[in-house]
Structure 1
Amino acid sequence: MFTRIKSAYNNLGIHRKMLLLISALLLGSFAFYALVLSNLYETYDSQMYEKTSELLNMSSVGIENQLKDMEHLSFKVVTDEQLQRYLTELEQTNSVYQKNVLRKKLTNRLIAFAGSEPFVYSMMVIDKEGEVMSAGNREGIPAELRTDLTTLADQNNGANAWYVGGKSSLLAVRQFKAFTGSTFTLKNLGTVIIRIRIDRIVDKQVHQSAGSTLVIADHQEIVYPEKLSFSETEINQELSRNQPYGVVNLPEGGYFSARIQSPYTGWTYLHMTPFDPMFERITWMKRLVTIIFIAIFLLGLAFGTRLSRSITRPMERLLQKMRTVETGNLDRLEELTLGPVPEGSQTEVGLLHRTFNRMLRRISELIDENYAKQLIIRETELKALQAQINPHFLYNTLESINWMAKVNKQSKISEMVEALGFLLRSSVNMSEKLIPLGRELDIVYSYVTIQQMRFEERLHFEVDIPDDLKDALIPKLTLQPLIENAIHYALEPSVNVCHIRIVARHEEDVLYISVEDDGPGMTAEFLERLHSGQVQTRGEGIGLSNIIERIRLTFGSEYGMEIESLPGVITAFHIRIPYERGEAQDV
């Protein structure tokens, strides 16, 4: 499976690879960011729970300290000497009047206790006969509830007991035990019931933010508040949650809930804070980050597409050019060379385009150069063919002249005719492009023989070439035109003796041949015209530019001929070709 995916990826184009890579980088960055953000949110939730728990602990401690004060108040009531005495006398007397007086005194004493306590809603005492004396709020307690409370006080045997009654009322219940006077019997004298204003205690100890709710529950009974913002079912679900904190979605909205349990009363403190206002900024940041990422992702894809296109489109155009050249369609070579080059000239793609265009221009130049060289070769061959004016007739005529010269004992004429015949045969036969240097010298000797008949002692010809170099291959008719040029420009204009010399040497793989004369020389302007081919050795001969081009065409542009001229001293044609030995060959 991995191999198949890798193969598919490798076969993708650069454009799709770049888009895939950019998408992977962006998605990977977003995944990393989301992971970090999630951890941050979890850390934030945990810290928020810790802070909320601390506040709940502080609140619960404050509330329960007040409840302990209420418990201490119930102890003060049941241990009050006057109340102990009134209840004892109330149990001992049979007089109805006396009982009423004692109950009145007992009520006044309760009023003294209840009036000084801000968190006491009401305070009542139930004697052994079931009569109720109360102080504070006169709201009565049903007979059934009084019986239950009395039973609860009896069960706790003098200890304080908490009772959560209807309408979320909190009651402190304790039994009177007789311990005043001369007797310490701990006899049951009655029951005191103190209704606590839990709402005031909570308001004093807890500073709740807007919308938040504190719920105090004793198992399934709600201690606080009297009116719930939520249904009892929702509260019970939160009380039964395993996690001490979390986010709960209620019909009223989302809430962050935190819960602790008091070790003193065993009550559960549940704090509900509206989630949306509290996390509004965080939620807004989440949405903003998501929108920013989507925008960055789209911009990244757009930028990646533009970037990849800026690379692949020039490469596609370059590939199209290459395919056109590959098919051999060179007619559009100039058009391809002049094609558009991508902007940003210093980029790799731009350099690649310019290099390919230079290569195309160089190919075009080479094609033109090769075409020009072929024209020169054709011109040379054409001139050689033009010299073939019925060669068989001409050779037969020369043979007849040679025979007649020998019959008439004209050796000079015979020698001249033989030299001319050899020279004509060598000039006409252009099938051999490279010949040994020795054979080229034979052509030169034939030409010089004819010219010596003409100029006699004025022409002094010399050859300084070692025998081991005579088998070196050179282009045919290379030296004869140079000798002809020397006679035409050095010997003919002068009446003095002209020295013409051919010298050859080799160094490693290079052969150097020089044709020198001591004629009047050439000016710089004439040399420039000679290099450009504007001056020919003779009207129908082979020009110097032709010789240079044939050497370069045969051996390469690093080889050729240089002309050196010192007027009145020496004029030399220096030929530089590779040193190759062998028989005559076609190329």
Structure 2
Amino acid sequence: MKRWNDLLLKTKMFVVFSAVSLFIVILTCIIFYYKNVSDIKSQTYALSSTITRQFSLTVELFIQDIERLSVSIFGDPVIQSNLLEHYSTNNEVVQNAIELAINRQLFTYLQPRPFLQSIYIFALDRNVYYVSKANGEKVSFSLQEEDWYEDNEKKLKNKFFLLPTYYEATYGGRKEKVVSFVRNINRIPYREVIAYMKININVNVLKGMLVPPGRNEVEQKMRVFIITDDGSIVYDNKDELTGRKAVGLNSAILAQDSHYGDLDWNGRRYLYTVKRSAYTGWSTLVLIPNDVIISKQKRSQYILVPVGLLAMLLVALVSYMLSHQITLPMRYLMMKMNRVELGDFSERMEIGGNNEFGRLSRIYNKMLDSISRLISEVYESKLAEKNAQLSALQAQINPHFLYNTLNIMKSISRVKGVDEVAEISESLAELFQYSMRNLHHPVPLRDEIEHIRNYMNIQQHRFGNRFQLRIDIPDSLMSASVLKLTLQPLIENAVIHGLGKVKAGGYIDVRVRKQGELLVIEIADNGRGIDEKKLESIRHSLESRSRMDDDEDGARGIGLRNIKQRIQLYHGELYGLEIHGATDHGTTVRLTFPCLTYKKEEASDSHDYIFGGG
């Protein structure tokens, strides 16, 4: 499996396409082969059944002609009168005349029919009247010598019966194979039996009834038999078994009227069809060697094998071309991606069409555009953060001098007894000290609140009791982690821009709540508020980071924007700052932080700036 996974996609597609196509071709050839074999067998059975049925019907018609001939002989007045006279006289001269008259009349029936070999009329006594072609010798000399006579009543109940093939002597010592047609002769108009008739038929006449084999291989190799119920062979088209009996054929197949199937005979496999004639009592059996079917199967194989090989070759070629066509754009894309891996983000795919590779090219180009944009944004964000840190470090230079100066002023004010100046100096010094340490690190919320109190302590010396600071924070949230110097600038905005002209009754509310995973801090005042146009300008500045006009609200917007940027740089885009307000209805600023507990380790890598004091 590992080696398979390591193969190229082009190789995998070629192997899979070729294997599947090869399977389909082989399956198709197998189905075609067996279907062809089945069709050949069906056609062979159909041909064999047709031959069997036609041959059986032809033999029936021929025997019917023989029966009609026997009726003519049976009813001939000369034969009837002479047979009756035969029984009424013992005079030899008369008997010779009777024999001459009967034989002459029988000859008139025998001579014009080439298929007849001889005709016998057996009197009930030991006399026999006989005519034969080619002066054949008489074989039977009395009725009592005939084997069939002992069971004649049973055999003659259907008017006639047929005797199996046997040999009859002819002129020159030759022997002909004949079949005998036997029936009784009744006295007319009575049903009294006065004699028996036997008509010997030359078996060769049956050859003419069978259609001569044509060019069809099946017809040339088939065996045709006419068989009696006791297994005697009346006729064999190969003239090998005619007149024989018990030649190894299964007698069970002859018991049925009409059927077909397979059988083994003389060590070979045959397809057979059989048709039994109710009229003659004979069964026509046609055997076709299974070799004929096999030879046709081989001929179909000779066609299937090259066609299958050609189809496999074409499938393999098409599979290779298709896999190459599919993987070519992918290799081109991999080449582009290798260049991007080396840092070249200018590589772009050429988009062609609206197929899968066209869409993939568009997605790839959009992905590179997004990566380039993200790299620029991250670079600008890091650059802005570094600039903010540099500005903070630069801003610590002047607070350093002021911090030392304020400590000197506090010491002198204590010595001189000016406690108010000393208190303001102390609060201002703490403000500077807090703002100079770890600007980019979080602090607990209580430190930020203490810083607000120091700032308000100074402002109350300036504004007196014109407004007050109200703080609503649960004790459990005092240790929450917030960024340093994010609340004091908002308090300063509220004092300067909101409550600066308020004479009395002003307030600034600081409310902190936990909402799910958020820490929400709201700073609200009841000052003069912001008109809708300026509020929209500030919000636009917060979203677009554009520089505002240099007025008091522009300065406020820049401060708000810096706070929001610091929060999002540290915690992410989900957090930040929102502002709400209206003219003469105050202003509310809402900060959102992740609700985290401050840990001292957060500022463990910070640098404290220690300044000397007086």
Q: Identify whether the pair has TM-score above 0.5, normalized to the shorter chain.
A: yes
Instruction: Map 1:67-78; keep pairs closer than 5 Å.
Output: none
- Contact kept, 8 Å, 1:401 with 1:417, in 2: the verdict is yes
Deviation of 1:199 after TM superposition, in Å, equals 6.8
Question: Given the superposition, is the C-alpha separation of residues 260 and 407 from structure 1 closer, same or farther in structure 2, using an over 3 Å criterion?
Answer: same
Which residue pairs with 1:528 in the alignment? 540
* Aligned residue runs from structure 1 range 193-272, under 5 A: 194-196=199-201, 215-216=225-226, 232=240, 242=250, 245=260, 257-260=272-275, 269-271=284-286
Post-superposition Cα deviations, 1:342-386, rounded to whole Å, max 9, x if no partner, equal: 9677x9xx89x97x9999988877766555544443333222111
Secondary structure of the structure 2 residue equivalent to 1:478: coil
1:19/1:576 Cα in 2 relative to 1: closer, same or farther (>3 Å)? farther
Change (3 A) 1:235 1:154: closer
1: distance between equivalents of 2:122 and 2:473?
A: 156
Deviates more, 1:257-266 or 1:13-22: 13-22
**Contact 1:154–1:175 (CA under 8 A) maintained in structure 2:** no
Partner of 1:586: 602
Q: 1:479 aligns with which of 458, 464, 487?
A: 487
Q: 1:139 — aligned with what?
A: 134
Aligned residue type for 1:379: N
Partner amino acid, structure 1, of 2:82:
Q
CA contact 1:333–1:364 (8 Å) conserved in 2:
no
1:403 pairs with 2:411: yes
Partners of 1:169 and 1:235 lie apart in 2 by: 8
Match of 1:504 in 2: 511
CA distance in 1, matches of 2:97, 2:17: 102
Name the amino acid aligned to 1:567.
T
SS of structure 1 residue aligned to 2:396? coil
Partner-residue secondary structure (3-state), 1:586: helix
Within 2, Cα distance between the matches of 1:49 and 1:478? 108
In structure 2, the residue matched to 1:462 is: 468
1:505/1:312 CA distance change after superposition, 3 Å:
farther
CA distance in 2 between partners of 1:208 and 1:490 (Å): 127
Specify the alignment match of 2:159 in structure 1.
Answer: none
**Residue number in structure 2 paired with 1:559:** 575
- CA deviations on 1:512-556 (whole Å, 9 max, x unpaired) are 322434256534234423543324889899732231133334444
Identity, in percent, stands at 22
Counterpart contact for 1:86–1:102, Cα < 8 Å: yes
Cα deviation, 1:457-482, whole Å, max 9, x if unaligned, reads: 39945321135354443211101222
Question: 3-state SS of the aligned residue for 1:196?
Answer: strand
1:571 paired with 2:587, answer yes
Match for residue 518 of structure 1?
528
**TM-superposed deviation, 1:440:** 1.2
Partner of 1:384: 392
1:562 Cα deviation from its structure 2 partner: 0.9
State the partner residue of 1:110: 106
1:84–1:58 CA distance, 2 compared to 1 (3 A): same
Q: Deviations over 1:50-108 (max 9, x none)?
A: 77766565555444445555667787799755268689999935xxxx99977754543
Q: 1:28 to 1:66 in 2, by over 3 A?
A: same
Shift of 1:420: 3.3
In structure 1, distance between residues paired with 2:59 and 2:512: 118
Cα contact 2:494–2:508 (8 A) shared by 1? no
1:82 maps to 2:69: no
Residues 161-172 of structure 1 mapped to structure 2, 5 A cutoff = 163-165=165-167, 169-170=177-178, 172=180
Stretches of structure 1 that go unaligned for 5 or more consecutive residues are 180-185, 249-253
Provide the TM-score with structure 1 as the length reference: 0.61
Shift of 1:504: 0.8
**Counterparts of 2:283 and 2:240 in 1: how far apart (Å)?**
14
1:182 match: none
In 2: Cα distance, 1:292 partner to 1:19 partner:
16
Q: Structure 1 residues 437-446 or 366-375, which shifts more?
A: 366-375
**What amino acid sits opposite 2:134 in the alignment?**
E
Q: TM-score, normalised by structure 2?
A: 0.59
- Read off the aligned partner of 1:529 and give its amino acid letter: S
RMSD: 7.1
Letter in 2 for 1:545: R
What amino acid is the match of 1:109? Answer: Q
Shift of 1:389: 1.6
Q: Secondary structure at the match of 2:574?
A: coil
CA distance in 1, matches of 2:182, 2:480: 140
Task: Give the distance between the partners of 2:288 and 2:243, measured in 1 at CA.
Answer: 13
Q: How many residues align?
A: 541
1:434 paired residue number: 442
In the TM superposition, residue 415 of structure 1 has moved relative to its aligned partner by: 3.5
1:141-160 equivalence runs, <5 A? 141=136, 146=137, 148=139, 154-156=145-147
Change (3 A) 1:419 1:62: same
Contact kept in structure 2, 1:419 and 1:447, CA below 8 Å: yes
Gaps of at least 5 residues in structure 2 are 153-161, 168-173, 188-193, 255-259, 264-268, 604-614
Instruction: Report the residue type matching 1:513 in the other structure.
Output: E
Secondary structure at the counterpart of residue 420 of structure 1: helix
Aligned equivalents of 2:567, 2:593: Cα separation in 1:
7
Per-residue Cα deviation, 1:401-424 (whole angstroms, up to 9, x for no partner): 433344444445434433333222
Code of the residue aligned with 2:577 in structure 1: it is: M
Q: 1:30 to 1:64 in 2, by over 3 A?
A: same
Letter in 1 for 2:537: E
Instruction: Report the residue type matching 1:457 in the other structure.
Output: F
The residue aligned with 1:183 is: none
Q: 2:282, 2:472 → 1: CA distance? A: 128
For the Cα contact (< 8 Å) 1:481–1:541, is it kept in 2? no
Secondary structure of the residue that 1:435 maps to in structure 2?
strand
Distance 1:446 1:338, change over 3 A: farther
Deviations 1:223-272 (A, max 9, x none): 668xx5x5748999x97555774689xxxxx9965345678878653447
